[in-house]
Amino acid sequence: MIEFNVNYGDERTNSYNHYPDFSAVGYQVIKELGRNSEGGRITYLANHINSQQKVVIKEFCFADITADWSGVKAYEREMQLLQILDHPHIPRYLDSFEESGFFYLIQEYKKAPSLGSKHCFYPEEVKQIALSILDILVHLQKHTPPIIHRDIKPENILVDEKLNVYLVDFGLAKLQDTKVDLSTFVAGTPGFIPPEEQFGHGLTEASDLYSLGATLICLLTNTHAKDISKLMDDNYRFNFQKLLPHLSLSFRSWLRKMVEPNQKQRYTNAADALKELEPIPVLTSGKKVDYLVSAIHHKETIAMLGLATLGILATLGTNLMVYRPGNAIDSNARFKLNITDNIPKMR
């Protein structure tokens, strides 16, 4: 593991909140959003002092002599790609600067948690997330040459309360026809890396589809990204269909094609996968009814339990009011009887 000795006890540090002081370049840090110790990256939420616009500042530290030069390349690659990308669901590049061994990338801020921190989505919502990411991939693949993200996983997909979806972290992205640096030849997160990359074969527009398919399987099975290997066999094939019997056969077939180990058996590109998915129902008609009945039954149960509690409380209050010291036995007997009689009959 690469360790970085970041010293915030100098002129870079704001004495009030112990965050780096970026006031000289027009930014004020609000809080830390996350850090990657191995990659030497720290992400901050900050305000642009003049406009009060919230931004994301990604700090890349390469001052330590143990730092891998691939980190500098990742920073340069991400900065260059973001400057040519223009899609409403890719946070925009705003600015960049560097100072004494630190590089900083400024991006548009989106108030949305990553899928790595939330897993409870209905199947229809998972389909909507898939459509949104495929739309972004279509945009990336329209470039000449096509852009391959290479690191699609739950942590790099942001989803807000209105189900708006954003794709982030282009540090491993590459143009399809360019060579991959030896230091990042096999990069990404195990379980989400397409088999062709692991075996040194060329990446194509189908490569990101595998990673997206793996991400969708995590969401549908409520599996954490670090546990995704539990859903795979020794041939890198996902075994998820028995876990998702409520999904329609056509949707399961679409998902199985997305994660085919052999990239030639996947959809050729994001446009083909998107066109195929759009008309597909996620649940069978019978299962849709089951979901509705289950939801209604759940609400009825909660309501009946609430009525039962109110009945018990009402009985307690009534009997306490009519209690007489000289008639303690009769009151207690009546109290026990009334509790039983006032509990609503549960169906």
- pLDDT tens-digit map of 41-51: 899 999 999 99
Write down which residue in 283, 304, 331 finishes a domain.
Answer: 283
- Buried b / exposed e along 207-225 (16+ C-beta atoms within 10 A): bbbbbbbbbbbbbbbebeb
Residues 87 and 201 in one domain: no
Which of the four pLDDT bands, split at 50, 70 and 90, describes residue 76? confident
For residue 268, tell me if it sits in a domain: yes
Model pLDDT for residues 262-276, shown as the tens digit of each residue:
999 999 999 999 999
Predicted local distance difference test score (pLDDT) of residue 37: 67
How many C-alpha atoms does 10 have within 13 Å on its Cβ side? 5
- Clarify whether residues 67 and 208 are in a common domain: no
Average pLDDT in the chain: 78
pLDDT score at 65: 42
220 within a domain of the structure (yes/no): yes
Q: How many Å apart are CA 49 and CA 54, to the nearest integer?
A: 9
Same domain, 271 and 150: yes
Q: Do both 140 and 266 map to the same domain?
A: yes
Determine the pLDDT at residue 326: 45
The DSSP secondary-structure symbol of 179 reads P
Model pTM score: 0.75
Same domain, 172 and 265: yes
CA distance 131 to 127: 6
End position of a domain, from candidates 55, 81, 108: 108
Q: Which candidate, 15, 231, 257, 39, places its Cα nearest to that of 130? A: 257
pLDDT at residue 39, as a whole number:
65
Containing 237, the helix (H) or strand (E) segment is none
pLDDT digits (tens, 9 = 90+) for 1-36: 333 233 333 344 554 468 999 999 999 999 999 887
Domain limits at 35? 23-108
Lowest mean pLDDT among 105-109, 110-114, 187-191, 232-236: 187-191
CA separation for the pair 218, 50 (Å, rounded) = 42
Q: Residue 115: inside a domain, yes or no?
A: no
**65 is a domain residue:** yes
3 inside domain: no
C-alpha 325/C-alpha 69 separation (Å) is 87
Is residue 40 one of the residues assigned to a domain? yes
Mean pLDDT value across residues 183-202? 77
Residues 253 and 293 in one domain: no
pLDDT level of residue 179 (50, 70, 90 thresholds): low
Q: Angle 314-319-323 (CA atoms, 0-180°, nearest 5)?
A: 155
Confidence of residue 180 (pLDDT cuts 50, 70, 90): low
- With a cut of 70, say whether residue 303 has pLDDT above it: no
d(CA 236, CA 233): 6
CA-closest candidate to residue 116, choices 72, 153, 168: 153
Give the whole-angstrom CA distance, residue 344 versus residue 347: 9
Structural domains in the chain (count): 3
Q: Which residues pair with 57 in a beta bridge?
A: 44, 106
Look at residue 167 and tell me if it is in a domain.
Answer: yes
Spatial distance between the Cα atoms of 61 and 99, rounded to a whole number of angstroms: 10
pLDDT digits (tens, 9 = 90+) for 309-335: 445 444 444 443 443 444 443 434 433
Domain end point (choices 42, 73, 108): 108
